[in-house]
Structure 1
């Protein structure tokens, strides 16, 4: 299960958010996990909420004004109730002064307490995006992941079918490499998969006969993309009698399920004399058209049916 500690959050985003750790430093090992997002009564991050507390509570001007309006008895009760929940951290934004009562409760319960001069809405947007990235469910797929025509395309197929050679040709045509051989996919939203390359393999492409190539060094910075959302899978398969007899109109579309998302799949038979790089480029362009509601196959079928009907009535 993906998880991140408060220590890691502070290390990654503390400087950008201008965070100062003022109390509860003994609680840095507290964890934020992906299953927190699934609990309806426990949001991952949000403004001060005494009824359904968030794992990370953010206090802005309005929240601090509310706390200052409470009587000492009511404030003490509210703070005790707040720190008795599954808190991971509290952030006081907008440069607000930290009440001594909050500091004491944070130290007593070992709950990290931060301050920042950043505006609370901006801070929450940054934190939500960051946590969505690091806590996303993930999986690994074998293939070559590229940006083709500005779209994330995963090239798959059996060993020695020509995936790396195809990727190399696409790179020479101006497209960009994300990952070769091992691709990590993260479910960053209900319908979005983000593909990334493991750090050890970044920039490298292995091609039979040439060995391991440093694509960034060979083709420049523009030949590499660090991450990309997956939109299309291109599966390479050797040309056989079976593939020859497949539906050439592609009326029944293929797809592949990765985590919670169904990704459209195009299957391209590989044979001598076929320019696979051009076919992949056109497959990407055609998928972009389909996303805009333009289906060439359906247009052809409708035209065919219309002309057949006209001939029937003419006779």
Structure 2
């Protein structure tokens, strides 16, 4: 399962959360990880002796509690409930660290940090950070774009023109997230966030032109660092056999499951003379309409059924 070290959490959030080391530096490589049956949100919380969090946060009430404890009682509680399950302890609100807590963390190699921020805000930031850092991920082949504020993954066999299509869409004002390798992270039960590997960021490979720096050519707005995946457009060769199998009036919604998240998918036949950029834009616009409860195919079929019924009634009236 995904995990990160306390050292990395500290480095990534040191300035944002005003973190400082107080004790337990020997435990900097302690791991914070997701368990199969527990959500990321359960990793961080106020001091809990019944169900210890991996990141235990001490606010005003918790520090006052420590002040009232005798050293022996505190050692018993920590030895029983915290040592094996807690990866990190943070004293928030700029409060002084209780000496018995500092001594215990030092001898047990449990990292102890302090922060000047209030504990609720500190926990909110850490939960969002851990949700992203520990998200289950997979790498998919394709081009990931922001089209009309919709995250669109264009897939298909090599040689079908995915990169050329992406270049055309970028020239029409849309934005590139990632080319070739797209990192998809499940940041929520029904949310996939697409990101670009650091090595490939800003670059798009087009056969005949080589590797292009999209940011330099089209400007800052042509690049997005990340985007939630909402639509998959799969390019397929438009041979006669495939075109004969297409149900032109199908109202069935196709989906593709990625990391147990169902994403709407569309098959787009590729043939000479077809303007794929316009077709992709139309597919995205239609997807947006469907999110708003408007289905063009269903509307057409309902209109067709209504006209048939009217014709039948008119026919019956003429017979009478």
TM-score range, shorter chain: over 0.9
* 1:157-215 CA-partner distances (Å, limit 9, x unpaired): 11111111100000000000011111111111110001111111111111111111111
How far 1:29 sits from its partner (Å)? 0.8
How far 1:69 sits from its partner (Å)? 3.9
How far 1:85 sits from its partner (Å)? 3.4
- Give the equivalent residue in structure 2 for 1:99: 98
Task: Name whichever of 201-210 and 289-298 sits farther off.
Answer: 289-298
* TM-score in terms of structure 1 length: 0.95
Contact 1:34 1:137 in 2 (8 A): no
For structure 1, list consecutive stretches of 5 or more residues without a partner in the other structure: none
- Give the equivalent residue in structure 2 for 1:264: 264
How far 1:274 sits from its partner (Å)? 1.3
Contact 1:236 1:268 in 2 (8 A): yes
Matches of 1:168 and 1:39, distance apart in 2: 42
Matches of 1:308 and 1:68, distance apart in 2: 82
* 1:27-56 CA-partner distances (Å, limit 9, x unpaired): 001001232x6348x931111100000000
| Matched length | 313
RMSD, matched Cα: 1.6
Contact 1:178 1:228 in 2 (8 A): yes
- Give the equivalent residue in structure 2 for 1:232: 231
- Give the equivalent residue in structure 2 for 1:287: 287
- Give the equivalent residue in structure 2 for 1:303: 303
How far 1:263 sits from its partner (Å)? 0.8
Contact 1:79 1:102 in 2 (8 A): no
Matches of 2:127 and 2:44, distance apart in 1: 7
Task: Name whichever of 234-243 and 24-33 sits farther off.
Answer: 234-243
- Give the equivalent residue in structure 2 for 1:180: 179
How far 1:76 sits from its partner (Å)? 4.2
How far 1:73 sits from its partner (Å)? 5.0
1:60 is the counterpart of 2:59: yes
Matches of 1:3 and 1:288, distance apart in 2: 36
How far 1:67 sits from its partner (Å)? 2.9
Contact 1:161 1:238 in 2 (8 A): yes
Matches of 2:256 and 2:204, distance apart in 1: 25
Matches of 1:76 and 1:30, distance apart in 2: 21
* 1:91-118 CA-partner distances (Å, limit 9, x unpaired): 0100111111101110111000011110
Matches of 2:70 and 2:314, distance apart in 1: 90
How far 1:68 sits from its partner (Å)? 2.9
Matches of 1:163 and 1:113, distance apart in 2: 50
Map 1:94-133 → 2, pairs under 5 A: 94-133=93-132
- Give the equivalent residue in structure 1 for 2:207: 208
- Give the equivalent residue in structure 2 for 1:155: 154
Structure 1 residues 124 and 285, CA, compared in 2 at 3 Å: closer, same or farther?
same
- Give the equivalent residue in structure 2 for 1:217: 216
